């Protein structure tokens, strides 16, 4: 671990920050969050084609940039900071990473280049109405139509919920199980076209309007297997841990931005004849926030690097980073609202945009209690 970004990585971050400050000011966030698509097509084209961000961690052989999770983490941190409205997490983080972990060579060659180029927006549908983030919660069934040999087609039945950008994605990677199987056994991944017969999609009313969620109903939907039949448990678990690291990095970007806006505001706001930032009651909160956000950043950065180095403890660190980011982002949002006083509770003030992202991110992929328990299990043995 070198605990420091290289000059190239810092330069990359600067380029992204400038781009996102320009393309994703809160006026744009507010405009896009009211739309069903939740994304500006021209900005998305630039993200994909001009900056190549959709393929940042996808190997060059599959049309990507061939970087690692540290670079992907930088992208996410900056997008989290700017609250970019785009299907990036769904397509690049969840769907592409699943295919990288589970797919055959042929499937990677087929599915990844369009995702890397941004021509296809994909997502991963794994959670169901029970809201569980692990494979134990999977009830959706996949029935093979043939005699069980490769090349069979499969039929999916059941419901997926809390699917990120599930109403707008054109390809959906689905986790389902062999009828009658439980736990890690019998799980497989499938690719489903969004316009497949029997697939019903309903956009959910998400509290965070910048993070679109959908509920998908599958009635005899035909699907193509990804990877090995019954072999999805390991690559899926790996994907979720990797996604947790990515989300932690996205979250610390938002938390850091909130922290800055809070401090800026306390310098502007005058009460009792002085800037409220001169009161120790406020200053001490600001110092605590800085410590918490910097700690969560350390965890997120460390986790991304551990993942790239494939250290033995990276899954434990992934859970630590997600738990830490969940608590920190939410706490920072609460304190930022508090430091703004009454205006912080208004719709016109931008704080609630990050507050809601903090809330949805807190729960997404498992809350801090869930991840602390995972961390304990992973570090104990």
Partner 1 sequence: MTEQTEGEIRSEVRAWLEANWDSNLGLVEWRLKLADSGWGVPTWPTEWYGKGLSDGMGRMIDEEFERAGAVTVARTGIRNLAAATILAHGSTMHKEKFLLRILTGEDSWCQLFSEPGSGSDLAGATTRADMKGNKWIVNGQKVWTTSAHHAQYGLLLARTDWDVAKHKGLSYFILDIEQDGVDVQPLRQMNGHASFNQVFFTDAVIEPEFLVSELGDGWKVATTTLMNERRGADGLRKYAKATEQPGRAYAEEAEEIAHQLEPYKWYPQRAGRVDLVIQRARETGKLDDPTVRQEIAKLLTLSKTTQWTAMRARAAQEQGGPPGPEGSLGKLSASNVARKAALVHTMLSGADAMLTGDDSPLEGVIAEILVSTPATSIAGGTDEIQKNIISERVLKLPKETRFDTDRPFREVPRNIVE
Binding site for partner 1 (CB under 8 A): 1-4, 263, 266-267, 274-275, 277-280, 282-284, 286-288, 290-291, 294-296, 298-299, 301-302, 320, 323-324, 369, 372-373, 375-376, 379-380
Cβ at position 139, least distance to partner 1 in Å: 25
Cβ at position 181, least distance to partner 1 in Å: 28
Cβ at position 222, least distance to partner 1 in Å: 43
Cβ at position 12, least distance to partner 1 in Å: 18
Both tokens of 49, joined, read 């084609």
C-alpha triplet 301, 302, 306: angle, nearest 5°? 120
Residue closer to partner 1, measured from CB, 108 or 370: 370
Do the beta carbons of residue 304 and residue 73 sit within 8 Å? yes
For 283, residues 6+ apart whose C-beta sits below 8 A from its C-beta are 277
Dmax (CA) for the chain in angstroms is 81
Residue closer to partner 1, measured from CB, 282 or 333: 282
Per-residue DSSP letters for 292-338?
HHHHHHHHHHHHHHHHHHT-TTHHHHHHHHHHHHHHHHHHHHHHHHH
How far apart CA 87 and CA 91 sit, in angstroms, is: 6
Both tokens of 308, joined, read 């790239």
CA 352 to chain centroid, in Å, comes to 19
Long-range Cβ pairs for the range 30-37 (8 Å, 24+): 30/353, 32/85, 32/210, 33/85, 33/209, 33/210, 33/353, 34/209, 36/167, 36/168, 36/203, 36/212, 37/168
Cβ at position 177, least distance to partner 1 in Å: 27
β-strands 141-144, 154-164: how paired?
antiparallel
Cβ at position 305, least distance to partner 1 in Å: 10
Residue closer to partner 1, measured from CB, 1 or 106: 1
Residue closer to partner 1, measured from CB, 233 or 289: 289
How many Cα atoms within 13 Å fall on the side-chain side of residue 129?
Answer: 6
Cβ at position 110, least distance to partner 1 in Å: 40
């Amino acid at each position: 671990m070198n605990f420091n970004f290289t000059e190239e990585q810092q330069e990359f971050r600067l380029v992204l920050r400038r781009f996102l400050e320009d393309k994703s000011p809160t006026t744009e966030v507010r405009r896009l969050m009211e739309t069903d698509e939740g994304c500006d097509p021209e900005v998305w084209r630039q993200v994909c084609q001009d900056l190549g961000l959709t393929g940042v961690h996808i190997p060059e052989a599959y049309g990507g940039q061939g970087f690692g999770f540290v670079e992907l983490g930088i992208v996410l941190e900056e997008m989290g900071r700017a609250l970019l409205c785009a299907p990036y997490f769904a397509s690049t983080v969840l769907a592409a990473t699943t295919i990288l972990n589970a797919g055959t060579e042929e499937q990677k060659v087929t599915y990844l280049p369009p995702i890397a180029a941004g021509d296809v927006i994909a997502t991963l549908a794994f959670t169901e109405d029970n809201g569980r983030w692990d494979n134990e919660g999977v009830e959706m069934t996949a029935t093979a139509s043939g005699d069980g040999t490769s090349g069979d087609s499969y039929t999916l039945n059941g419901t997926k919920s809390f699917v990120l950008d599930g109403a707008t994605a054109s390809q959906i990677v689905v986790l389902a199980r062999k009828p009658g199987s439980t736990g890690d056994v019998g799980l497989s991944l499938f690719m489903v076209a969004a316009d497949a017969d029997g697939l019903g999609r309903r956009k959910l009313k998400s509290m965070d309007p910048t993070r679109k969620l959908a509920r998908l109903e599958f009635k005899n939907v035909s699907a193509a297997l990804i990877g090995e039949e019954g072999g999805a448990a390991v690559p899926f678990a790996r994907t979720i841990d990797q996604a947790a690291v990515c989300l932690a990095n996205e979250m610390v970007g938002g938390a850091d931005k909130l922290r800055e806006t809070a401090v800026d505001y306390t310098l502007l706001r005058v009460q009792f004849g002085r800037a409220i930032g001169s009161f120790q009651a406020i200053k001490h909160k600001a110092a605590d926030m800085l410590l918490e956000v910097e700690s969560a950043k350390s965890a997120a950065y460390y986790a991304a690097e551990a993942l790239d180095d494939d250290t033995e403890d990276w899954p434990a660190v992934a859970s630590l980073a997600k738990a830490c980011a969940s608590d920190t982002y939410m706490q920072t949002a609460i304190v930022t609202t508090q430091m703004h006083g009454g205006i912080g509770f208004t719709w016109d003030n931008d704080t609630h945009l990050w507050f809601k992202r903090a809330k949805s991110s807190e729960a997404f992929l498992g809350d801090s209690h869930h991840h602390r328990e995972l961390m304990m299990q992973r570090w104990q043995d």
